[in-house]
Chains A and B, each alone.
Chain A
Amino acid sequence: MTISSPSGRSVPLVIDHGDYGRAVLLQGQPVPWREVPALAGYLRQVQALLDPDVAYVDVEAMMLGGLAARPELCAAMAERTRTGYALRTLLADETELDLVRVTVTTVGDVLRRRVALAVPSPVRFLASAHEVAGTARAEVSEDNADSASLYLAEWLGRLGGCPIEMVLLDARASAALAGVEVEVEERLETYTALTNVAAHLGWSIGLRTSTGIEFPPDSEIGQVVPDGFWDGEATTLDSAATVRLTHIPADAHPESVLERLPALG
C-alpha cells in the first residue's frame, strides 16, 4: 500500500496532535473524541494549522477515555475474569463500534482526507481494557496477545467501508501496562490476523514502538520524527522513508512548530 500525500509533501506526514492541539487549540480542554461535530471542527483546525496528510484519530482516547460514561459496558467487561474477556466485550459493543465508524466517516468527509486510525496494540489494548473493567492482569502471555490480536482483527474488519488510510498499532508503554509482566515482545510479523485484514481492506498497517515504527516487509518505510525536532533539535530525515510520523509535544512553541513544519515537506 502507498500512503497518499494530498498536502503535496514528498513524504506523507502523520501528526499525533492530541497533546499539542489540547494546549494550543483547545486552551487546555480535552479533545472531544466522543462528540463527532466538535471533533470534526477541531480536526479542521488541526488541518488548517498543520496540514497533515491523514487525519489522526486516537481510538484509545475515544473508546477507553469515554467508558466512564458507560457503566453498563464496564460492568459487562468485568463479568468474567479470564484474560481477554474485557477486551472482547468492549470490541463487541455495537455502540462503541458505531461511534468509531461514524467518527471516521465524518472526519473523512469533512476533511477530505483519509484517516490514520491509532489503535492500541493487542497487548496494550488488553491491559487497558482490563484496567478499565477493574480486572487488571498481572501478566500477559503470548497466547493472550495472540487472542487479543484476533479480537482486534475482527473489529477492524467491521470498519471495512470507512475511509481509513492506515492503522497505527500503538505498542508504547502506557499507564495500564505499568506493573504488568508481558511475556511477549510485540512484533508486527506475529500479528498475522491484523496484517491480513489490513491487506484485504487495502490499508497500511504499522506498529509504533518506543523506538520507532515497524511496517510489514515490502510496504512502507516509516520514520518517527522525535519530539525534540519541534524545539529545534537537529534531526536527520531519512531519505528512504515513505511515511513520517511525529508527535508534537504540548509545550512546543507554536511559532517554532510553524517554522519547523516546512522542513518535513
Chain B
Amino acid sequence: MKRISVDIGGTFTDCFFVWDEKYVEAKALTTHHNLALGFNEALDLACKRADLDRATVLSEVDSVRYATTLGTNALIERKGPKVGAIVTHGFEDTIPLSRGRGYGEGLDYSMQQNLPAAERPEAIVPRTLIRSVKERMNSAGKVVAHLDPEDVRSVVRELVDAGAEALVVSLVNATENPAHELAIQEIILDEFPPHELGAIPVLLGHQVSGRKGEYVRATSTIIDGFLHEIMFHALSQLSQNLRDYGYDKPMLVIHNSGGMAQMNSTDALQTIHSGPIAGVSAAEHLSTETGLGHVISTDMGGTSFDIGLVPEGGVKHYDFLPTIDRWLVSVPMVHLDTLGAGGGSIASYDRIHNAIKIGPESAGSNPGPACYDRGGLRPTVTDADLLLGYLDPDNYANGYIKLNPKRSRFAIEEHLCDHLDLDVIDVARAIKDGVDEQMAIGIGKELRVRGYLPEDFTMLAYGGNGPLHACGIARHAGIKRVLAPPYSSVFSACGAGNMRQLHFHERGVHVTMYNATTRSLYDRYDEFNAVVEDLEARGREDLVRQGFDPADVKYRLELDMRYGNQLLTQAVALEDLTRMSGVGDVLAMIKTFGDVYSHRFGASSAAPEAGIRCNTIRVASYVEGDVVNFDSLDGGGERHTPAQVSERKVHFIGHDAPLLTPVYDHHALTVDAVIPGPAIVTTENTTFLVEPGWRLEPTSQGAVWFLQD
C-alpha cells in the first residue's frame, strides 16, 4: 500500500504517508493563501524522512486523500456567490423564519438560553432573493397543483435580474416526487444553456438531501450551492498541483459521513468538518484492531478541540440534522462536538466575571500565537504553555517554528495581567487550567448525555496539542488513563488513510412498524424493499462512477425510528438485515431499536405501546480497502526509566514554585520504558507533558499511555 493522506487544518497541514510497510508523519503550517504550498511542504518533509523524492512518490502512490477545512472557512468568511432560492408558493418565509429558532442554531448552550440577545446570522439567501412558484405535491408524492412553466420562467428571470449567481430549488415534498424540481431545472437550463456565458449553476433539494422537512433540506441545498464554486476551484487547484508533480489518479476527498469519494461524487456540504471526522474514524479503527473497547477521541489542534464517541463494536454516532456554522442542515455526519479551544485559542479578559475567557477566536496559522513572532499581538494557549516551560522554544514543531517567549510575555502582560492584577506566570497557569477544564467539561457532557460514564471509556488524546494537555484534561474529567495513539500529531490524517469510499442515501418515509391502535405489524414488505433497493442503486451508481466493480459494493441498512409521535428519533443500524421479508424481520428491527433506545434513555423508557414508526430509511454503500495496521498497545514486561537529556524549571498547576523537570527526547519512547511525572518528552512532531502524579508508558508506533499513579 502506497498512500498519502492530508488533513488541512486551521493551523497545521498534517501529512500521513504510507510507503509499503513504512509509515511517516509530517506537518507544515497551513498556507491559507494557497493550500497547495502547505501540502507540498508537508509532503516534502515526509518524503525526506522516507528518503524519497516528491515526483517519485506522487507517480507511484495509489491514492491521495484530502480532508480540508476549506468549506468551513468559506462559510465562516461568507465567500461565495449570491444564491437565489425557488420554493413552493406559500413557503417563501420558511427559510428566513428558520423554525422560529434559527437565532440559536450553532450557538453555545448559554447563548441558546438567552435567545432574545442572540445575534441573528447573516442570511446566505436574503429574503429578496427568494421566489415561489405555484405547484404542490402531497406527502405521498401525488401532484396536487401542476407546475406552470411560464410562472417558472418569470421567477427565474426575476432572480437573475436581482443578481442571483446560483440557484437552488427546494420544493415541498420533493423527496417523495422530484418531478417538479426536475422540470424547473430543465426550464432554467433552457433559459440559461450550460454552454453560454450566462449559464447558472442549479442545485435541487431532493438531490442534496432525501430527508423530509423543507426547511433543513432548503438550508442544506443553499449551503451546497453557496460553497459549490469555491470548493470546485480550490479542490481543482489542489488536484492540478498533484498532476503537475506526476500524480495521475483521481484525488479523493474525505466526507463528513466518515467515508470518502472522488470529486465527481462529492457535494461541497459533505466536506465540512471532514478533518476531525477522519480522526474519529482512526479512533474506531484503532479500537477495533487493538481491542481498546469504548473510546472517546479528543483532537486538540491549533484552532479547535473535537470530541468524538466510538462505543465498542457499535456504529459511530451520527448527526442527521447537524448544525454547520449557524445553520441546521440535513446531511448524515459523524457526530462530533467541537469546542473553540486549541493551542491558538485567544485568551481575553472577561470584564463581567473578572476572569479569562479562552476562545473561540483563534490566532490560526497567520499570524499564529504571539510567540510565533509573526505579528500576533494577543495571548493564546500556546503562549501560556511556552511561559510555563512546557515547550522548548528552539524545538517546537521539530524546530520548524522558533518560538519567542518575549512575545508571549508581552502579549499576556499587555492584555491580561493588569486587568487581573496577577503575575504573568499566574495568568499563564490560569489559561492552561482554564482550557483544560473547558475541554474536560465538554468530554463529560458528551458522555453523560448519551448515557455513558467516563470510567468506561479510554480517552484518546491526539492532535498537535493533545499530548501536551492530556493529563490536565483527564485530571478535570476524572479519567485515570489516557492514550496518545500512534502518530498522534497527525492522527486525523492517519484516519483519512484508513477511510473507504462510502456514500449515504436516504429517503423520508412513513412506515408504521407497529400500529398501536390496530395492534398490527407492518406488512408492506415490497414497498419497503423497493425504497431500499432504490437507495442501494444510487449508492452503487456513485461507486461505479468512481471505477468500482458493482460486485464489490457492500450495503448497510439504517433506520430512523421513534415511539409513536415522539419528536425524538433514534438512528438504528441493522448490521445483518438489508431486506424485509416477513414478520421476523420486522420484529428484529423493532428489537434493535428497543435495545438502542433503552441503552440511551434507560431500560424503562421504551414505550412500544405508543406505536413504533420509521421516518427515514438510509443505506450506506461502501467498498472495503487496505487499511493502516496498528500494533498491539500492550507494552508488557519489566519497564525502566530512560536517561533524561536535560532538565528545566517548569510551572505546574497546584504547585506554587516551579519544579525541576527532566526532559527526554524520542529515544526515551521505547516499549520497555516508564517515565514518571513530572517530565517532558519532546519528539519531532509533538510534546508529551507528564504532570506530577502521572507516569508515561510508551508502546509501539509512537503511542504512549498516560497513567495516573
Contact = CB atoms under 8 A, between A and B. Distances in A.
Interface string B611-649: 000000000000000000000000000000000000000
Nearest to A150: B375
A196 B366 contact: no
A161 B79 CA distance: 14
A154 B407 CA distance: 13
A201 B29 CA distance: 10
Interface string A190-217: 0011101100111000000000000000
Nearest to A149: B375
Interface residues of A, number: 19
Given A154-B367, A192-B404, A160 B33 contact: yes
Given A154-B375, A192-B404, A160 B32 contact: yes
A161 B374 contact: no
B373 A193 contact: yes
Contacts of A11: none
Given A154-B367, A157-B366, A157-B367, A197 B37 contact: no
B346 to A, nearest CB: 13
A144 to B, nearest CB: 13
Contacts of B372: 196
A202 B376 contact: no
B377 interface: yes
The A contact surface, by secondary structure, is helix
B104 to A, nearest CB: 29
A153 interface: yes
Contacts, number: 52
A156 B375 contact: yes
Contact of A192 (B365, B366, B373): B373
Interface string A142-160: 0000000011111111001
B366 A200 contact: yes
B374 A200 contact: yes
Nearest to A154: B375
B31 interface: yes
A202 B33 CA distance: 10
B375 A193 contact: yes
Contacts of B365: 200
Contacts of B31: 200-202
Contacts of A197: 366-367, 374-375
Interface in A209-247: none
A162 B32 CA distance: 11
Given A153-B367, A192-B404, A200 B373 contact: no
Contact of A196 (B32, B34, B374, B377): B374
Contact of B374 (A151, A162, A193, A202): A193
Contacts of B33: 160-162, 201
A66 to B, nearest CB: 24
Interface string B15-50: 000000000000001011110010000000000000
A151 B372 CA distance: 14
B37 A157 contact: no
B377 A154 contact: yes
B29 A153 contact: no
A198 B428 CA distance: 29
Contacts of A202: 31, 37
Contacts of A161: 32-34
**Most chain A CB neighbours (cut-off 10 Å) among B32, B367, B376:** B367
Interface string A167-197: 0000000000000000000000000111011
Contacts of B373: 153, 192-193, 196
Contacts of B34: 161
Contacts of A150: 375, 377, 407
A7 B31 CA distance: 28
Contact of B29 (A192, A193, A200): A200
Interface string B51-85: 00000000000000000000000000000000000
Nearest to B376: A154
A160 B77 CA distance: 15
Contacts of A154: 367, 374-377
Nearest to B32: A160
A122 to B, nearest CB: 11
A155 B375 contact: yes
Contacts of B32: 160-161
A153 B407 CA distance: 13
B646 to A, nearest CB: 25
Contacts of B375: 150-157, 193-194, 197
Nearest to A160: B33
Interface in B80-134: none
A200 B377 CA distance: 17
A164 to B, nearest CB: 10
Kindly name the residue among A155, A156, A160, A194 whose own CB sees the greatest number of chain B CB atoms within 10 A. A160
Nearest to A143: B410
Interface of B: 29, 31-34, 37, 365-367, 372-377, 404, 407
The 5 tightest CB contacts between A and B, nearest first, are A153-B375, A154-B375, A160-B33, A161-B33, A197-B374
25 contacts: A150-B375, A150-B377, A150-B407, A151-B375, A153-B367, A154-B367, A154-B374, A155-B375, A156-B375, A157-B367, A157-B375, A160-B32, A160-B366, A161-B33, A193-B373, A196-B373, A197-B366, A197-B367, A197-B375, A200-B29, A200-B31, A200-B366, A200-B374, A201-B366, A202-B37
Given A154-B374, A202-B37, 15 more contacts: A150-B375, A150-B377, A151-B375, A151-B377, A153-B374, A157-B367, A161-B32, A192-B404, A197-B374, A200-B29, A200-B366, A200-B374, A201-B31, A201-B33, A201-B366
